[in-house]
Structure 1
Amino acid sequence: MRHPFFCLLAAGVVLAGCASYRPAPVDPAATRAQWQARRLDDPALAVRLRPWLPARDHGRWPPERYGRAELLLAALALNPDLAEARAHLAEASAAVRTAGARPNPTVSLALERYTQAQADGAPWLWGISTDLLLDTALRRRLRVQLADQAVRGARLDYAEKVWAVRAAVRDALAERLLAQRRLALADEGVRLAAALEQAARQRATLGEDSPQAELQAAQTLAQARSAQAGAAQQAAGADARLARAIGVPGDALQGLQLDWAGFERPTAPDRAQVAALADHALLARADLERALVDYASRETELHQQVRAQYPQLSLGPGYTYDHGIRKLTFNASASVPLFNRNQGPIAEARARRDAAAAHVRTVQADIASAIEAARRRLAAALPALAAARAGEQAAARQQAQAERAFALGAVDRPALLAARLAALAARQTALDALGLAWQAVAALEDALRAPLDPAEAALWPGPGDTP
């Protein structure tokens, strides 16, 4: 009876080390309430962000004005996409432990009992047999290597997600600043167009102008009101996108003072800086490194399939009590490569490796093309902005001349309003050119995967680091 007792004791010891299951249901109502309660002035957020705040804030949170660096820090802590990416990184890290684990042996129990008529001695036969898979060091090392590569890939995916969030914050902030200015210009345009339409109607009533001029003024007013509605929609959409990029509800941005130093003056970055960043991007941009990690994984998988063509051994020591006779047994088994030597999986793995190598070259070519296109785009956008601002200044001078002429009685009110509308249109053109210039700067940053703003560059990791 001692043998069953020891077996039960061993089973109890093994089971005592097992993990327990604890359910963790997700309550949509609770997560919704947590989302709606998010605020940038949350004290808990201040504790998390204080060590990373820019020097100009002196460790204060919330800051008086939110610049690009402050919004980026808040997004790194609050954005739900980054939280999901961190969860996937933890998932990949947990797989490393699984890959390094040795396979457990299997234990089988056999029982046999003679009937009373057959039993002339001990009626029972019972035996315990085991099956121990011989997991070689090479097989285990390849599994761990593949899991480590998956972790590296997850880290690079996280780095790409961080950049995507940063780009979303940048683009939404620029769009919001531009939309607010467009809305202000649109409001002024409606006011001027309404005054022009009223003046044209009065002149047409007095017979001083043709009905066609009144109709044209009415069309100008309709176009101004349409532009005003579009600008209001753009402003609302920009607010929603900025809130989502940061990771807070839309009403959390109400009353915030946003700041973008140098927004009025986009400039071409230093050529040496761009050249250094371009060299780094062509060798180690996150998506290129991801492609290289994928290639290394396919290489490891090919090694695994080549190793799988060799037999895998299993040992099975056991013990049998055969009707009063005690026996020690020993079994050994191995797969026999009789019909194939794993040629099919090896060919598939080799083809996947070749495809991964081709993908690396494709990604590198795309990076080079994106950098060159962004450089040319920025080189064209900045002179276009300068030309639009020159036109804005010329229209402003014409407006000033019209104002003086109207004060002297040389021109009538419709001519003055037309000059004001022309100056307003020039301001809108310059604002559109400003938006295109910042889009060109953003395209260059995205191609380089590096911020060109000094405040953000101080927060961003250096080459080879993962944010």
Structure 2
Amino acid sequence: MIQARSFTNKRLNRFLEIMDKGRPIRWDQQNLALVALYERPTLRIADSNYFAARAGLITAREIPNPKLSLNAAYNTTDFIPNPWSIGPTITFLIRNFFATHARVSAAHEKVVAARLAILSTVWVEWDTVYRAYSGLWAALQLRTLANHQALLAQEIYQATLERYRAGAASATALNLAELAMQKAAFAVSTAVLHLRLTRTSLASAVGMPARAIIHVKFDFSTFYRSFRLTNLDSAEHYALAHRPSVLAARAKYYAAQYLLKYEIDRVFPSFKMKPGYTYSQGVTGYAFGANAHLPLFNQNQGPIALAHAQVERADLEVIHSQDHVLSQIDHAKTYLNASLATLRSARREVSFARDQEAAAEQAYDAGLIGALRLLGAEQVAVAAEKNQLTARADERRAVGDLEDALHKSLTGVTP
């Protein structure tokens, strides 16, 4: 069943149509993230944890069922009027109100944390798909440029070979041209390998077998959208306080506090009421009993100490989650600023190389330079485009990292 997964699954397509409000299905970033949520088990695991937490809340709210006890005795010395004595007893547990309230409150906070974990799972899947998807986009662009470079290297080698045969080029020049052609061919092989690996990574990210995405036509228009960095400081502060992972850690902290209160309140006993009925020697009677534990030898200090330690750990986990968010934001901002600077430099390099190429074409048309000089200028321009592609891919990855760190879309595409 896992190997049979594909993008042509009717139930999957129906799910995508519903989520995209009936619009034609495009295999873009948003729909691929939906495929991941549909096919991969991570969201269902988070849902299961949520339903388990809700079950714990139901259990905490339940009133204990009474227990029925039945005692029977047979008198061997007195048979009149009846040797049997029967005494049923019903036991009711009257819980400590404050301990019960604390237990219910702790269970409620665990439900809140489990619900927030679902949101965190959605963002994790979104980021995983984005990384794999952007990698595939860059790999496709890289293969195209590598093929172009290989074609230019082959043309340069042929032109050098002709000049060598005419005695206008040295053997060293021919050897260098052949070496450059071999390097370009190896770069094509490396680009093809990288493309196959990125396809496999994307298949894994969306929960599909590798062969399911070979013939899929992807929509990469998302990577050409501009992004806006407005109110970044306020978004950073909001993420530090309201990201689902931070809120979930805080809910777990509240749950630990309530559990500590529960253990403290358990020092005060719960009571068991035992009304009963007896029938002995033809005489009926009624009985009433009660019992409670007495905190004489211990005052529940062990569980209280454990609950104290859990509160301290939960407090540290809140701080740890905020530290993690802050480090994510700082890394993404640094990465984005550096990639933007690199991209600006790469664009200037491409613009200069294109100007040089245009000048070389004019000189070639005027007969001032030969074909080798023209091909060399084209090679420089393609190399500059490769550098620009690398910078562009870094910029897109940095945008994705910042979106994931802030849990906020910068390009208008949201999970």
TM-score range normalised by the length of the shorter chain: 0.7 to 0.9
Structure 2 residue aligned with 1:15: none
Question: Aligned match of 1:182 in 122, 137, 142?
Answer: 142
Q: Does residue 269 of structure 2 align to residue 307 of structure 1?
A: no
The one-letter code sitting in structure 2 at the alignment partner of 1:295 is Y
- Aligned-partner SS, 1:263: helix
- Paired residues of 1:190 and 1:224 also in contact (CA < 8 A): yes
Q: Does residue 20 of structure 2 align to residue 62 of structure 1?
A: no
Q: Considering Cα pairs closer than 8 Å and 6+ residues apart, tell me whether 1 or 2 has the greater RCO.
A: 2
Deviation by residue 1:41-94 (Cα, 9 ceiling, x = unmatched): 73x4555455653xxxxx44433x444344444544444322332232222222
Which stretch of the first structure deviates more once superposed, 357-366 or 92-101? 357-366
The one-letter code sitting in structure 2 at the alignment partner of 1:97 is I
Structure 2 residue aligned with 1:430: 388
Q: Distance in 2 between matches of 1:321 and 1:265?
A: 86
Q: Distance in 1 between matches of 2:38 and 2:222?
A: 26
Question: Aligned match of 1:447 in 382, 405, 410?
Answer: 405
The one-letter code sitting in structure 1 at the alignment partner of 2:184 is A
Structure 2 residue aligned with 1:355: 313
| Structure 2 unaligned blocks of 5 or more | none
Q: Distance in 2 between matches of 1:390 and 1:152?
A: 51
- Paired residues of 2:100 and 2:262 also in contact (CA < 8 A): no
The Cα shift of 1:160 comes to 0.5
Deviation by residue 1:132-187 (Cα, 9 ceiling, x = unmatched): 22124333322221221111111111000111112222222222211111111122
The Cα shift of 1:424 comes to 1.8
Structure 2 residue aligned with 1:220: 180
Q: TM-score, normalised by structure 1?
A: 0.78
Question: Aligned match of 2:63 in 102, 108, 115?
Answer: 102
**Pair 325,410 (structure 1): closer, same or farther in 2 beyond 3 Å:** same
The one-letter code sitting in structure 1 at the alignment partner of 2:46 is A
Structure 1 residue aligned with 2:44: 83
Which structure 2 residues correspond to residues 20-419 of structure 1 after superposition, within 5 A? 31-32=1-2, 36-39=4-7, 42=10, 44-45=11-12, 47-50=14-17, 52-53=19-20, 59-63=21-25, 65-114=26-75, 118=77, 120-121=79-80, 122-197=82-157, 209=169, 212-261=172-221, 263-264=223-224, 266-267=226-227, 269-272=228-231, 274-407=232-365, 410-419=368-377
- Aligned-partner SS, 2:313: helix
- Aligned-partner SS, 1:36: coil
**Pair 316,233 (structure 1): closer, same or farther in 2 beyond 3 Å:** farther
Which stretch of the first structure deviates more once superposed, 301-310 or 278-287? 278-287
Q: Distance in 2 between matches of 1:108 and 1:213?
A: 104
- Paired residues of 2:260 and 2:307 also in contact (CA < 8 A): yes
The Cα shift of 1:325 comes to 4.3
Structure 2 residue aligned with 1:11: none
Which stretch of the first structure deviates more once superposed, 194-203 or 94-103? 194-203
- Aligned-partner SS, 1:311: coil
**Pair 132,196 (structure 1): closer, same or farther in 2 beyond 3 Å:** same
The Cα shift of 1:381 comes to 1.6
| Structure 1 unaligned blocks of 5 or more | 1-30, 54-58, 461-467
- Paired residues of 2:249 and 2:314 also in contact (CA < 8 A): yes
- Aligned-partner SS, 2:274: strand
Q: Percent identity?
A: 30
Deviation by residue 1:343-387 (Cα, 9 ceiling, x = unmatched): 222122122212222332332233334323322332222121011
Q: Distance in 1 between matches of 2:97 and 2:267?
A: 16
The Cα shift of 1:202 comes to 6.3
Q: Distance in 2 between matches of 1:62 and 1:91?
A: 37
Which stretch of the first structure deviates more once superposed, 286-295 or 251-260? 251-260
The Cα shift of 1:290 comes to 1.1
- Aligned-partner SS, 1:339: coil
**Pair 218,90 (structure 1): closer, same or farther in 2 beyond 3 Å:** farther
**Pair 402,134 (structure 1): closer, same or farther in 2 beyond 3 Å:** same
- Aligned-partner SS, 1:315: strand
The Cα shift of 1:108 comes to 2.6
- Paired residues of 1:112 and 1:125 also in contact (CA < 8 A): yes
- Paired residues of 2:40 and 2:206 also in contact (CA < 8 A): yes
